[in-house]
Structure 1
Amino acid sequence: MVRGKQVLIFDADDTLWENNILFERVIDDFLDWLTHPTLDRDQLRAILDDIERANTAAHGYGSKVFLRSLGDCVARLRERPATSAELRRIEELAVALVEGSVDLIPGVADTLTTLGERHELLLLTKGDTEEQQRKLTASQLERHFAGVHIVGEKNVDTYQALSGEYGFVPERTWMIGNSPKSDILPARRAGLGAVFIPNENTWVLEHSELDSSDTGVLRLTAFPELLQHF
Protein backbone atom coordinates (compact mmCIF):
# COMPACT_ATOMS: atom_id res chain seq x y z
CA MET A 1 0.00 0.00 0.00
CA VAL A 2 1.19 3.52 -0.83
CA ARG A 3 1.50 5.50 2.41
CA GLY A 4 0.22 9.04 2.94
CA LYS A 5 -2.03 11.30 0.90
CA GLN A 6 -1.58 11.00 -2.85
CA VAL A 7 -2.94 12.75 -5.93
CA LEU A 8 -4.88 10.27 -8.06
CA ILE A 9 -5.70 11.31 -11.63
CA PHE A 10 -8.34 9.20 -13.33
CA ASP A 11 -9.03 8.52 -16.97
CA ALA A 12 -12.75 8.36 -17.81
CA ASP A 13 -13.66 6.28 -20.89
CA ASP A 14 -13.16 2.54 -20.28
CA THR A 15 -11.73 3.26 -16.83
CA LEU A 16 -14.76 4.69 -15.03
CA TRP A 17 -17.42 3.67 -17.54
CA GLU A 18 -17.67 1.47 -20.59
CA ASN A 19 -17.15 3.38 -23.81
CA ASN A 20 -15.36 1.65 -26.63
CA ILE A 21 -17.64 -1.36 -26.56
CA LEU A 22 -20.39 0.96 -27.84
CA PHE A 23 -18.19 1.97 -30.77
CA GLU A 24 -17.32 -1.68 -31.42
CA ARG A 25 -20.99 -2.58 -31.64
CA VAL A 26 -21.52 0.19 -34.18
CA ILE A 27 -18.51 -1.03 -36.16
CA ASP A 28 -19.89 -4.58 -36.18
CA ASP A 29 -23.20 -3.31 -37.53
CA PHE A 30 -21.38 -1.07 -40.00
CA LEU A 31 -19.31 -3.97 -41.35
CA ASP A 32 -22.44 -6.13 -41.61
CA TRP A 33 -24.00 -3.39 -43.74
CA LEU A 34 -20.84 -2.52 -45.69
CA THR A 35 -20.42 -5.26 -48.25
CA HIS A 36 -17.46 -5.46 -50.62
CA PRO A 37 -16.89 -7.84 -53.55
CA THR A 38 -13.24 -8.66 -52.76
CA LEU A 39 -12.33 -7.55 -49.23
CA ASP A 40 -13.17 -9.62 -46.17
CA ARG A 41 -14.27 -8.29 -42.81
CA ASP A 42 -10.74 -8.08 -41.34
CA GLN A 43 -9.49 -6.17 -44.37
CA LEU A 44 -12.39 -3.73 -44.14
CA ARG A 45 -11.67 -3.20 -40.44
CA ALA A 46 -8.00 -2.53 -41.19
CA ILE A 47 -9.01 0.18 -43.67
CA LEU A 48 -11.36 1.74 -41.13
CA ASP A 49 -8.62 1.67 -38.47
CA ASP A 50 -6.28 3.53 -40.83
CA ILE A 51 -8.94 6.14 -41.55
CA GLU A 52 -9.66 6.58 -37.84
CA ARG A 53 -5.96 6.95 -37.09
CA ALA A 54 -5.68 9.78 -39.63
CA ASN A 55 -8.91 11.49 -38.62
CA THR A 56 -8.22 11.48 -34.89
CA ALA A 57 -4.80 12.98 -35.53
CA ALA A 58 -6.36 15.74 -37.63
CA HIS A 59 -9.72 16.30 -35.93
CA GLY A 60 -9.61 14.83 -32.43
CA TYR A 61 -11.79 12.23 -30.74
CA GLY A 62 -15.44 11.51 -30.12
CA SER A 63 -18.54 10.32 -31.91
CA LYS A 64 -18.57 13.13 -34.49
CA VAL A 65 -15.10 12.24 -35.72
CA PHE A 66 -16.02 8.56 -35.60
CA LEU A 67 -19.05 9.17 -37.84
CA ARG A 68 -16.81 11.10 -40.20
CA SER A 69 -14.48 8.10 -40.35
CA LEU A 70 -17.34 5.76 -41.21
CA GLY A 71 -18.39 8.07 -44.02
CA ASP A 72 -14.81 8.34 -45.26
CA CYS A 73 -14.57 4.56 -45.23
CA VAL A 74 -17.62 4.28 -47.46
CA ALA A 75 -16.17 6.92 -49.78
CA ARG A 76 -12.82 5.13 -50.06
CA LEU A 77 -14.37 1.74 -50.78
CA ARG A 78 -16.99 3.07 -53.19
CA GLU A 79 -14.44 5.43 -54.80
CA ARG A 80 -16.96 8.27 -54.57
CA PRO A 81 -18.40 10.50 -51.82
CA ALA A 82 -20.91 8.83 -49.52
CA THR A 83 -24.48 9.56 -50.55
CA SER A 84 -27.02 11.28 -48.32
CA ALA A 85 -28.77 7.95 -47.87
CA GLU A 86 -25.54 6.25 -46.81
CA LEU A 87 -24.73 9.01 -44.33
CA ARG A 88 -28.24 8.75 -42.86
CA ARG A 89 -27.76 5.01 -42.45
CA ILE A 90 -24.46 5.58 -40.66
CA GLU A 91 -26.16 8.03 -38.28
CA GLU A 92 -28.88 5.47 -37.61
CA LEU A 93 -26.29 2.81 -36.79
CA ALA A 94 -24.53 5.14 -34.37
CA VAL A 95 -27.52 6.61 -32.54
CA ALA A 96 -26.57 4.76 -29.32
CA LEU A 97 -23.32 6.73 -29.14
CA VAL A 98 -25.03 10.07 -28.70
CA GLU A 99 -28.20 9.05 -26.89
CA GLY A 100 -27.15 6.10 -24.76
CA SER A 101 -26.79 6.07 -20.99
CA VAL A 102 -23.46 5.67 -19.19
CA ASP A 103 -22.67 2.18 -17.90
CA LEU A 104 -20.30 2.43 -14.92
CA ILE A 105 -17.64 -0.23 -14.55
CA PRO A 106 -18.41 -2.38 -11.47
CA GLY A 107 -17.22 -0.94 -8.17
CA VAL A 108 -16.28 2.49 -9.50
CA ALA A 109 -18.69 4.65 -7.48
CA ASP A 110 -17.99 3.03 -4.11
CA THR A 111 -14.24 2.92 -4.74
CA LEU A 112 -14.12 6.62 -5.61
CA THR A 113 -16.08 7.46 -2.48
CA THR A 114 -13.53 5.72 -0.27
CA LEU A 115 -10.50 6.99 -2.19
CA GLY A 116 -11.82 10.53 -1.94
CA GLU A 117 -11.67 10.27 1.83
CA ARG A 118 -7.98 9.38 1.65
CA HIS A 119 -6.56 11.27 -1.33
CA GLU A 120 -7.10 14.13 -3.78
CA LEU A 121 -8.88 12.95 -6.93
CA LEU A 122 -8.79 14.56 -10.38
CA LEU A 123 -10.29 13.57 -13.72
CA LEU A 124 -8.35 13.81 -16.98
CA THR A 125 -10.12 12.75 -20.17
CA LYS A 126 -9.59 13.48 -23.83
CA GLY A 127 -12.19 14.08 -26.51
CA ASP A 128 -14.94 16.47 -27.48
CA THR A 129 -15.64 18.74 -24.52
CA GLU A 130 -19.43 18.70 -24.81
CA GLU A 131 -19.56 14.95 -25.32
CA GLN A 132 -17.23 14.12 -22.44
CA GLN A 133 -19.06 16.50 -20.10
CA ARG A 134 -22.37 14.87 -21.04
CA LYS A 135 -21.03 11.46 -20.09
CA LEU A 136 -19.55 12.76 -16.87
CA THR A 137 -22.85 14.40 -15.89
CA ALA A 138 -24.76 11.22 -16.70
CA SER A 139 -22.31 9.17 -14.62
CA GLN A 140 -23.01 11.28 -11.49
CA LEU A 141 -19.32 10.95 -10.60
CA GLU A 142 -18.23 14.58 -10.94
CA ARG A 143 -18.68 15.25 -7.23
CA HIS A 144 -15.74 12.97 -6.45
CA PHE A 145 -13.18 15.13 -8.27
CA ALA A 146 -11.45 18.28 -7.12
CA GLY A 147 -10.82 19.15 -10.76
CA VAL A 148 -12.02 17.98 -14.18
CA HIS A 149 -9.86 18.42 -17.27
CA ILE A 150 -11.08 17.62 -20.78
CA VAL A 151 -8.26 17.87 -23.29
CA GLY A 152 -7.71 17.26 -26.97
CA GLU A 153 -4.82 14.86 -26.44
CA LYS A 154 -3.08 13.18 -23.52
CA ASN A 155 0.67 13.33 -24.05
CA VAL A 156 3.75 14.23 -22.02
CA ASP A 157 3.03 17.96 -22.42
CA THR A 158 -0.48 17.43 -21.04
CA TYR A 159 0.79 15.76 -17.89
CA GLN A 160 3.58 18.27 -17.40
CA ALA A 161 1.13 21.18 -17.78
CA LEU A 162 -1.26 19.60 -15.28
CA SER A 163 1.58 19.00 -12.83
CA GLY A 164 2.67 22.62 -13.18
CA GLU A 165 -0.86 23.94 -12.69
CA TYR A 166 -1.38 22.06 -9.44
CA GLY A 167 2.21 21.92 -8.24
CA PHE A 168 2.16 18.13 -8.01
CA VAL A 169 4.95 16.20 -6.36
CA PRO A 170 5.53 13.58 -9.09
CA GLU A 171 6.46 10.85 -6.61
CA ARG A 172 3.05 11.20 -4.96
CA THR A 173 0.97 11.54 -8.11
CA TRP A 174 -0.55 8.67 -10.08
CA MET A 175 -2.36 8.44 -13.41
CA ILE A 176 -4.94 5.67 -13.44
CA GLY A 177 -6.31 4.32 -16.70
CA ASN A 178 -6.77 1.56 -19.23
CA SER A 179 -4.82 3.00 -22.16
CA PRO A 180 -1.09 2.34 -22.42
CA LYS A 181 -0.79 4.96 -25.17
CA SER A 182 -2.64 7.83 -23.45
CA ASP A 183 -2.68 7.06 -19.73
CA ILE A 184 0.41 5.08 -18.82
CA LEU A 185 3.35 5.84 -21.12
CA PRO A 186 3.07 9.66 -21.28
CA ALA A 187 2.42 9.89 -17.54
CA ARG A 188 5.54 7.87 -16.83
CA ARG A 189 7.58 10.03 -19.21
CA ALA A 190 6.34 13.06 -17.28
CA GLY A 191 7.64 11.53 -14.07
CA LEU A 192 4.31 10.43 -12.58
CA GLY A 193 3.42 7.02 -11.29
CA ALA A 194 0.81 5.06 -13.23
CA VAL A 195 -1.81 2.43 -12.50
CA PHE A 196 -2.78 0.24 -15.44
CA ILE A 197 -6.25 -1.32 -15.25
CA PRO A 198 -6.80 -3.15 -18.55
CA ASN A 199 -10.18 -3.18 -20.25
CA GLU A 200 -10.71 -5.95 -22.79
CA ASN A 201 -12.63 -3.50 -24.98
CA THR A 202 -9.88 -0.86 -25.13
CA TRP A 203 -9.74 0.81 -28.55
CA VAL A 204 -7.11 -0.77 -30.79
CA LEU A 205 -5.51 2.63 -31.45
CA GLU A 206 -4.84 3.00 -27.71
CA HIS A 207 -2.80 -0.20 -27.52
CA SER A 208 0.95 0.01 -26.91
CA GLU A 209 3.59 -2.13 -25.25
CA LEU A 210 4.46 -1.43 -21.62
CA ASP A 211 7.85 -2.04 -20.07
CA SER A 212 7.36 -5.00 -17.74
CA SER A 213 10.40 -3.94 -15.72
CA ASP A 214 9.04 -0.44 -14.96
CA THR A 215 8.41 -0.45 -11.21
CA GLY A 216 6.58 2.87 -11.52
CA VAL A 217 3.61 1.11 -13.13
CA LEU A 218 1.17 -0.69 -10.86
CA ARG A 219 -0.86 -3.32 -12.70
CA LEU A 220 -4.32 -4.21 -11.41
CA THR A 221 -7.11 -6.38 -12.78
CA ALA A 222 -10.16 -4.52 -11.45
CA PHE A 223 -10.98 -0.99 -10.32
CA PRO A 224 -11.83 -1.83 -6.67
CA GLU A 225 -8.30 -3.20 -6.21
CA LEU A 226 -7.17 0.42 -5.94
CA LEU A 227 -8.36 0.32 -2.33
CA GLN A 228 -5.68 -2.25 -1.52
CA HIS A 229 -2.93 0.14 -2.66
CA PHE A 230 -4.12 3.70 -1.91
Structure 2
Amino acid sequence: MAISTIGFDADDTLWQNETFFRLTEQRFAELLSEHGEHQVISARLLEAERRNLAFYGYGVKGFTLSMIETAVEVTNGQVSASVIGEILSFGRQMLQNPVEALPHAEETLAALSGRYNIVLITKGDLFDQERKLAQSGLGAYFNAVEIVSDKSADTYARIFSRHGDGPERAVMVGNSLKSDVVPAIRAGSWGVYVPHELTWVLEHEDAPEGDPRFRRIESLAELPALIAQMT
Protein backbone atom coordinates (compact mmCIF):
# COMPACT_ATOMS: atom_id res chain seq x y z
CA MET A 1 0.00 0.00 0.00
CA ALA A 2 1.40 3.37 -1.03
CA ILE A 3 2.49 5.79 1.67
CA SER A 4 0.10 8.74 1.96
CA THR A 5 0.91 10.27 5.37
CA ILE A 6 4.17 11.16 7.07
CA GLY A 7 4.30 12.00 10.76
CA PHE A 8 7.18 14.00 12.18
CA ASP A 9 8.31 14.26 15.76
CA ALA A 10 9.34 17.80 16.73
CA ASP A 11 11.89 17.95 19.57
CA ASP A 12 15.35 16.79 18.46
CA THR A 13 13.95 15.67 15.13
CA LEU A 14 13.10 19.05 13.58
CA TRP A 15 14.65 21.38 16.17
CA GLN A 16 17.01 21.29 19.15
CA ASN A 17 15.52 20.48 22.54
CA GLU A 18 17.48 18.04 24.72
CA THR A 19 20.53 20.31 24.66
CA PHE A 20 18.64 22.87 26.75
CA PHE A 21 17.60 20.24 29.30
CA ARG A 22 21.15 18.99 29.72
CA LEU A 23 22.58 22.50 30.07
CA THR A 24 19.95 23.31 32.69
CA GLU A 25 20.66 20.05 34.52
CA GLN A 26 24.32 21.07 34.69
CA ARG A 27 23.41 24.49 36.12
CA PHE A 28 21.11 22.79 38.63
CA ALA A 29 23.83 20.39 39.78
CA GLU A 30 26.25 23.31 40.18
CA LEU A 31 23.65 25.21 42.21
CA LEU A 32 23.39 22.27 44.65
CA SER A 33 27.06 21.23 44.49
CA GLU A 34 27.56 21.57 48.24
CA HIS A 35 24.96 18.83 48.74
CA GLY A 36 26.43 16.20 46.41
CA GLU A 37 28.55 15.41 43.37
CA HIS A 38 27.22 16.30 39.95
CA GLN A 39 26.40 12.69 39.05
CA VAL A 40 24.59 12.16 42.36
CA ILE A 41 22.41 15.26 41.91
CA SER A 42 21.67 14.28 38.30
CA ALA A 43 20.72 10.74 39.33
CA ARG A 44 18.34 12.05 42.00
CA LEU A 45 16.79 14.42 39.45
CA LEU A 46 16.26 11.56 37.01
CA GLU A 47 14.54 9.54 39.74
CA ALA A 48 12.20 12.46 40.40
CA GLU A 49 11.46 12.87 36.69
CA ARG A 50 10.66 9.19 36.37
CA ARG A 51 8.28 9.33 39.35
CA ASN A 52 6.59 12.50 38.17
CA LEU A 53 5.89 11.66 34.53
CA ALA A 54 2.51 10.22 35.47
CA PHE A 55 1.60 13.45 37.28
CA TYR A 56 3.21 16.27 35.31
CA GLY A 57 3.77 14.71 31.90
CA TYR A 58 6.61 15.73 29.59
CA GLY A 59 8.13 19.15 29.14
CA VAL A 60 9.79 22.08 30.87
CA LYS A 61 7.18 22.61 33.58
CA GLY A 62 7.38 19.03 34.82
CA PHE A 63 11.17 19.21 34.66
CA THR A 64 11.17 22.38 36.75
CA LEU A 65 8.92 20.84 39.38
CA SER A 66 11.19 17.80 39.49
CA MET A 67 14.21 20.06 40.05
CA ILE A 68 12.44 21.73 42.98
CA GLU A 69 11.48 18.35 44.45
CA THR A 70 15.05 17.12 44.10
CA ALA A 71 16.38 20.27 45.78
CA VAL A 72 14.06 19.69 48.73
CA GLU A 73 15.17 16.05 48.99
CA VAL A 74 18.94 16.52 48.76
CA THR A 75 18.90 19.39 51.29
CA ASN A 76 16.66 17.45 53.69
CA GLY A 77 14.02 20.13 53.38
CA GLN A 78 16.43 22.99 54.08
CA VAL A 79 16.55 24.46 50.57
CA SER A 80 16.35 28.25 50.67
CA ALA A 81 13.77 30.44 48.99
CA SER A 82 16.54 32.02 46.91
CA VAL A 83 17.54 28.63 45.51
CA ILE A 84 13.91 27.81 44.68
CA GLY A 85 13.73 31.17 42.92
CA GLU A 86 16.85 30.35 40.93
CA ILE A 87 15.40 27.02 39.85
CA LEU A 88 12.22 28.73 38.73
CA SER A 89 14.32 31.16 36.69
CA PHE A 90 15.98 28.16 35.01
CA GLY A 91 12.55 26.95 33.92
CA ARG A 92 11.48 30.36 32.63
CA GLN A 93 14.68 30.64 30.63
CA MET A 94 14.04 27.26 29.00
CA LEU A 95 10.60 28.46 27.95
CA GLN A 96 12.21 31.43 26.21
CA ASN A 97 15.07 29.68 24.45
CA PRO A 98 15.27 30.38 20.71
CA VAL A 99 14.13 27.63 18.37
CA GLU A 100 16.97 26.22 16.30
CA ALA A 101 15.90 24.05 13.38
CA LEU A 102 18.10 21.03 12.81
CA PRO A 103 20.04 20.59 9.56
CA HIS A 104 17.90 19.67 6.52
CA ALA A 105 14.61 20.01 8.42
CA GLU A 106 13.07 22.70 6.25
CA GLU A 107 14.38 21.42 2.92
CA THR A 108 13.08 17.93 3.73
CA LEU A 109 9.62 19.20 4.67
CA ALA A 110 9.56 21.34 1.53
CA ALA A 111 10.46 18.33 -0.63
CA LEU A 112 7.67 16.18 0.84
CA SER A 113 4.98 18.84 1.28
CA GLY A 114 2.18 18.69 -1.27
CA ARG A 115 2.93 15.07 -2.13
CA TYR A 116 1.94 13.60 1.24
CA ASN A 117 -0.14 14.51 4.26
CA ILE A 118 2.44 15.94 6.65
CA VAL A 119 1.50 15.72 10.34
CA LEU A 120 3.46 17.05 13.30
CA ILE A 121 3.06 14.68 16.26
CA THR A 122 4.73 15.91 19.42
CA LYS A 123 4.32 15.46 23.15
CA GLY A 124 4.93 17.91 25.95
CA ASP A 125 3.52 21.14 27.28
CA LEU A 126 0.86 22.60 24.96
CA PHE A 127 1.94 26.25 25.24
CA ASP A 128 5.64 25.49 24.84
CA GLN A 129 5.15 23.21 21.83
CA GLU A 130 2.91 25.79 20.17
CA ARG A 131 5.55 28.46 20.84
CA LYS A 132 8.32 26.38 19.33
CA LEU A 133 6.29 25.53 16.26
CA ALA A 134 5.41 29.20 15.69
CA GLN A 135 9.03 30.30 16.08
CA SER A 136 10.44 27.49 13.97
CA GLY A 137 9.02 28.88 10.73
CA LEU A 138 8.03 25.34 9.72
CA GLY A 139 4.31 25.49 10.50
CA ALA A 140 3.18 26.05 6.91
CA TYR A 141 4.45 22.62 5.88
CA PHE A 142 2.04 20.68 8.11
CA ASN A 143 -1.45 19.60 7.16
CA ALA A 144 -2.18 18.91 10.83
CA VAL A 145 -0.57 19.31 14.24
CA GLU A 146 -1.17 16.94 17.15
CA ILE A 147 0.24 17.76 20.61
CA VAL A 148 -0.31 14.70 22.78
CA SER A 149 0.35 13.74 26.40
CA ASP A 150 2.10 10.51 25.40
CA LYS A 151 2.83 8.43 22.31
CA SER A 152 1.50 4.90 22.07
CA ALA A 153 0.35 2.55 19.32
CA ASP A 154 -3.23 3.72 19.95
CA THR A 155 -2.10 7.34 19.58
CA TYR A 156 -0.63 6.69 16.14
CA ALA A 157 -3.54 4.54 14.98
CA ARG A 158 -5.96 7.32 15.93
CA ILE A 159 -3.95 10.17 14.43
CA PHE A 160 -3.12 8.43 11.16
CA SER A 161 -6.75 7.41 10.73
CA ARG A 162 -7.92 10.97 11.44
CA HIS A 163 -5.40 12.72 9.20
CA GLY A 164 -4.67 10.06 6.61
CA ASP A 165 -5.65 6.67 5.24
CA GLY A 166 -4.85 4.70 8.36
CA PRO A 167 -1.62 3.62 10.03
CA GLU A 168 -0.78 1.04 7.35
CA ARG A 169 -0.20 3.86 4.83
CA ALA A 170 1.74 6.09 7.21
CA VAL A 171 5.35 6.66 8.22
CA MET A 172 6.49 8.11 11.55
CA VAL A 173 9.85 9.89 11.64
CA GLY A 174 11.66 10.70 14.87
CA ASN A 175 14.74 10.52 17.06
CA SER A 176 13.17 8.43 19.85
CA LEU A 177 12.89 4.69 19.37
CA LYS A 178 10.63 4.45 22.42
CA SER A 179 8.18 7.22 21.51
CA ASP A 180 8.38 7.70 17.76
CA VAL A 181 9.42 4.46 16.14
CA VAL A 182 8.44 1.38 18.13
CA PRO A 183 4.82 2.37 18.95
CA ALA A 184 4.23 3.51 15.37
CA ILE A 185 5.39 0.14 14.07
CA ARG A 186 3.12 -1.57 16.60
CA ALA A 187 0.23 0.45 15.18
CA GLY A 188 1.01 -0.93 11.73
CA SER A 189 2.96 2.04 10.37
CA TRP A 190 6.52 2.38 9.17
CA GLY A 191 9.02 3.79 11.67
CA VAL A 192 12.02 5.83 10.54
CA TYR A 193 14.68 6.44 13.18
CA VAL A 194 16.84 9.58 12.86
CA PRO A 195 19.36 9.51 15.73
CA HIS A 196 20.17 12.69 17.63
CA GLU A 197 23.44 13.10 19.53
CA LEU A 198 21.50 13.65 22.76
CA THR A 199 18.55 11.47 23.72
CA TRP A 200 16.97 11.50 27.17
CA VAL A 201 17.71 8.25 28.98
CA LEU A 202 13.99 7.62 29.58
CA GLU A 203 13.53 7.55 25.80
CA HIS A 204 16.02 4.73 25.23
CA GLU A 205 14.82 1.45 23.75
CA ASP A 206 16.34 -1.27 21.61
CA ALA A 207 15.92 -0.81 17.87
CA PRO A 208 13.50 -3.30 16.25
CA GLU A 209 16.16 -4.34 13.74
CA GLY A 210 14.31 -7.41 12.52
CA ASP A 211 11.05 -5.64 11.76
CA PRO A 212 10.44 -5.11 8.02
CA ARG A 213 8.84 -1.71 8.71
CA PHE A 214 11.85 -0.31 10.55
CA ARG A 215 14.29 2.03 8.83
CA ARG A 216 17.23 4.08 10.07
CA ILE A 217 18.76 7.13 8.43
CA GLU A 218 21.56 9.34 9.68
CA SER A 219 20.12 12.63 8.43
CA LEU A 220 16.76 14.07 7.42
CA ALA A 221 18.35 14.77 4.04
CA GLU A 222 18.03 11.03 3.31
CA LEU A 223 14.29 10.93 4.00
CA PRO A 224 12.76 11.96 0.63
CA ALA A 225 14.69 9.28 -1.23
CA LEU A 226 13.78 6.68 1.40
CA ILE A 227 10.10 7.56 1.18
CA ALA A 228 10.25 7.28 -2.60
CA GLN A 229 11.64 3.76 -2.25
CA MET A 230 8.90 2.83 0.21
CA THR A 231 6.13 3.97 -2.11
TM-score interval w.r.t. the shorter chain?
over 0.9
List alignment gaps of at least 5 residues for structure 2.
none
- TM-score under structure 2 length normalisation: 0.92
Matches within 5 A, 1:75-86: 75-80=72-77, 82-86=79-83
Q: 2:29 aligns with which of 24, 28, 31?
A: 31
Tell me, in whole angstroms, the C-alpha distance in 2 between the residues paired with 1:120 and 1:144: 9
Is residue 147 of structure 2 the alignment partner of residue 150 of structure 1? yes
Which amino acid is 1:8 matched to? I
- Aligned-pair distance for 1:33? 1.7
How far does the alpha carbon of each residue in 1:39-95 deviate from its partner, in whole angstroms, 9 at most, with x for none? 432222111111011112211111111110110110111111643211111123344
Counterpart for residue 162 of structure 2: 165
Q: 1:107 aligns with which of 95, 104, 107?
A: 104
How far does the alpha carbon of each residue in 1:145-171 deviate from its partner, in whole angstroms, 9 at most, with x for none? 100001111112211221332352433
> Measured at CA, do residues 224 and 81 of structure 1 come closer, stay the same or move farther in structure 2, by a change above 3 Å?
farther
Identity across matched positions, percent:
35
Counterpart for residue 18 of structure 2: 20
Tell me, in whole angstroms, the C-alpha distance in 2 between the residues paired with 1:157 and 1:215: 20
Matches within 5 A, 1:49-128: 49-80=46-77, 82-128=79-125
> Measured at CA, do residues 141 and 92 of structure 1 come closer, stay the same or move farther in structure 2, by a change above 3 Å?
same
List alignment gaps of at least 5 residues for structure 1.
none
Q: 2:187 aligns with which of 190, 199, 203?
A: 190
- Aligned-pair distance for 1:36? 4.2
- Aligned-pair distance for 1:110? 1.2
Counterpart for residue 41 of structure 1: 38
Is residue 225 of structure 2 the alignment partner of residue 228 of structure 1? yes
Tell me, in whole angstroms, the C-alpha distance in 2 between the residues paired with 1:80 and 1:11: 39
Is residue 209 of structure 2 the alignment partner of residue 203 of structure 1? no
Contact conserved, 1:71 with 1:82, CA < 8 A, in 2?
no
Contact conserved, 1:72 with 1:82, CA < 8 A, in 2?
no
- TM-score under structure 1 length normalisation: 0.92
Aligned residues: 227
Q: 1:134 aligns with which of 119, 125, 131?
A: 131
Tell me, in whole angstroms, the C-alpha distance in 2 between the residues paired with 1:168 and 1:209: 29
Alpha-carbon RMSD across the aligned residues, in angstroms, is 1.7
- Aligned-pair distance for 1:4? 5.0
Contact conserved, 1:5 with 1:120, CA < 8 A, in 2?
no
